[in-house]
A and B are shown apart, each in its own frame.
Chain A
Amino acid sequence: MSRESVNIAVIDYGAGNISSMVNSLEYIGFKAQVVSSATSLDQFTHIIIPGVGAFDDAMDHLDQSGLVEHLEKAKNSGVFILGVCLGMQILCKSSDEGISSGLGWIDLEVTNLSKYTDVKKVPHMGWNNLIFDHANPIFDGVDTGDDVYFVHSYGVSESYDQLCLAEANCGVKFCCAVRDKNVFGMQFHPEKSQNVGLKILKNFLALKREV
């Protein structure tokens, strides 16, 4: 796929550090457009939703941005969407962290990792292994056991078998990469995971809509 035919939006809804994401895309040769106000997303092939902070705040910000209906439309038309870190969590139905509903595009729930006695340190912060059995285009050139960078206190740790692409283990196993059709979530930060992360971002941007 030529780079010219990839058109990337990075969603800036006031709850995330978008510069790291934009910098990493630029480094691998893609110019992303930062979208922060309600506007049509029709022209994009790939949309990235970063996110740091608290779940309810993020959902409030996203609601206020007026972008939800445009995102919804893009999702329904088959645009590839990637939520990173909190961006993955808001794609889910709900989170222990807040009372707001998530977007619900991924039929999973986000759990407080500190409720598990086997999880010794929260936040789960640092480099940890990706664990996966099945080859997947998103992990092309990436091996199970490769390290990626995490920083989070909540995660998808229950009933995720159907949609999970990869797990990680922070004392308890949880789903760190998820896919439902054209919607992807990653709990780790590909933009801060050096070679491995940049490869995963490239793989995501290489996904092509089936016509």
Chain B
Amino acid sequence: MVKHRLIAVVIVRDGRVVQSVKFKHTNVIHYDAIHAIETFNQWSVDEIVLLNVSKTPESKDEFKRILSEVSKSCFVPLSVGGWINEYQYACDLIKSGADKLVLNTAFYSDVELTKSLIKKFGSQCIVASIDFDYVDDAKKVFVNRGEDCIDASPLDWATRLEAVGAGEIFLNCISRDGARKGYDLEMIQDLSESLTIPIIAFGGVLRWKHLLDGINAGADAVAAANIFHYTEHAAKRAKQYLFEKDINIRKPEFMN
């Protein structure tokens, strides 16, 4: 049967790989995104997500250039997002080597764009990213890189995006981002019980056990960013851990 996936997320701001903590990016980790991805590709991650979190759309061309470089040596699926607000730019990203597009704000501000991309590339190519956080104890969805709250619960929003034709949900909790406390398990569980499309859990992983918790809560795939940069051979060790816990996951091995 199809396996759970371990996903490395590479967050890029103005061309540099940064650490993300509650959607703030003060720490530059690698100056060179290409080198970071080459490393991940050689490890046993099952998929790579490359996100452009730059504050301005002027970053789009540089990001596309980085993508076309990294895709030359990336032989696992590569999902790409950030500032996809035009049809042509989305097509350019695919041409530059993206296997899937990660869309977030577009589902709110330009749903026709998301529909035309789904029609062109198929649902399996469209990952719907949902950022949520607590507002007066209620979980609410945020768009525009976590800046604007929209009046929707993550579950309602995810259900809607599934109906529009999203192929997967990439779920991130803003206050858990970089907070090292693990995923929001309750949210993962709610979503996975209600949706039929795969859920990718993201945000807050410090220990390997957090990955296991995410899978046990119902996530199809578990993603992390910072730990892959700061722990040596993190992907392989994370895989080893999950493998030993009898999780159905691709064998940990290095690329030759």
Q: Which of A24, A147, A151 contacts B124 (CB 8 A)?
A: A151
- Chain B contact patch, size range: 35 or more
Q: A17-B94, A170-B2, A195-B255 are in contact. List 6 more A-B contacts (CB 8 A).
A: A19-B95, A52-B124, A149-B76, A191-B75, A194-B75, A197-B75
Q: Within 8 Å of chain A (Cβ to Cβ): is B57?
A: no
Tell me how many residues of A have a C-beta within 8 Å of chain B.
Answer: 34
Residues from chain A with a CB closer than 8 A to the CB of B60 are none
Chain B positions 176-233 with a Cβ under 8 Å from a chain A Cβ? 196-198, 220-221
Interface secondary structure of A, over-half rule? mixed
Residues from chain A with a CB closer than 8 A to the CB of B123 are 123
Q: Which of B97, B121, B196 contacts A23 (CB 8 A)?
A: B97
Q: Are A194 and B76 in contact (CB under 8 A)?
A: yes
Q: Are B125 and A52 in contact (CB under 8 A)?
A: yes
Q: Which of A19, A20, A53, A121 contacts B122 (CB 8 A)?
A: A53
Q: Are B95 and A149 in contact (CB under 8 A)?
A: no
B34 to chain A, nearest CB (A): 13
Complex CA–CA separation, A27 to B123 (angstroms): 29
Which of A70-78, A124-132, A179-187 makes up part of the contact surface? A124-132
Complex CA–CA separation, A27 to B4 (angstroms): 27
A133 to chain B, nearest CB (A): 19
Q: Are A27 and B73 in contact (CB under 8 A)?
A: yes
Q: Are A17 and B72 in contact (CB under 8 A)?
A: no
Q: Within 8 Å of chain B (Cβ to Cβ): is A68?
A: no
Assuming the A-B contacts A127-B46, A149-B77, are A53 and B121 also in contact, with contact meaning beta carbons closer than 8 angstroms in the complex? yes
Complex CA–CA separation, A147 to B248 (angstroms): 11
| Residues of B bordering A, CB below 8 Å | 1-5, 41, 46, 68, 71-77, 94-97, 99, 120-125, 167-168, 196-198, 220-221, 250-251, 253, 255-256
Complex CA–CA separation, A193 to B3 (angstroms): 13
Q: Are A126 and B2 in contact (CB under 8 A)?
A: yes
Residues from chain B with a CB closer than 8 A to the CB of A192 are 75-77, 99
Q: Are B5 and A19 in contact (CB under 8 A)?
A: no
Complex CA–CA separation, A52 to B1 (angstroms): 22
Residues from chain A with a CB closer than 8 A to the CB of B253 are 195
| 8 pairs from A and B in contact (CB 8 Å cutoff) | A23-B74, A26-B72, A125-B124, A126-B2, A169-B1, A195-B255, A195-B256, A197-B75
Q: Are A128 and B3 in contact (CB under 8 A)?
A: yes
Assuming the A-B contacts A53-B122, A153-B124, are A123 and B167 also in contact, with contact meaning beta carbons closer than 8 angstroms in the complex? yes
Q: Are A52 and B121 in contact (CB under 8 A)?
A: yes
Q: Within 8 Å of chain B (Cβ to Cβ): is A198?
A: yes
10 shortest interchain CB distances as A-B pairs = A126-B2, A147-B250, A127-B250, A127-B3, A123-B124, A19-B97, A151-B124, A194-B75, A23-B72, A128-B2
B147 to chain A, nearest CB (A): 31
B201 to chain A, nearest CB (A): 15
Considering residues B122, B197, B221, which has the most beta carbons from chain A within 10 angstroms of its beta carbon? B122
Considering residues A53, A121, A126, which has the most beta carbons from chain B within 10 angstroms of its beta carbon? A126
B162 to chain A, nearest CB (A): 12
Q: Are A126 and B5 in contact (CB under 8 A)?
A: yes
Q: Are A193 and B96 in contact (CB under 8 A)?
A: no
Q: Within 8 Å of chain B (Cβ to Cβ): is A150?
A: yes
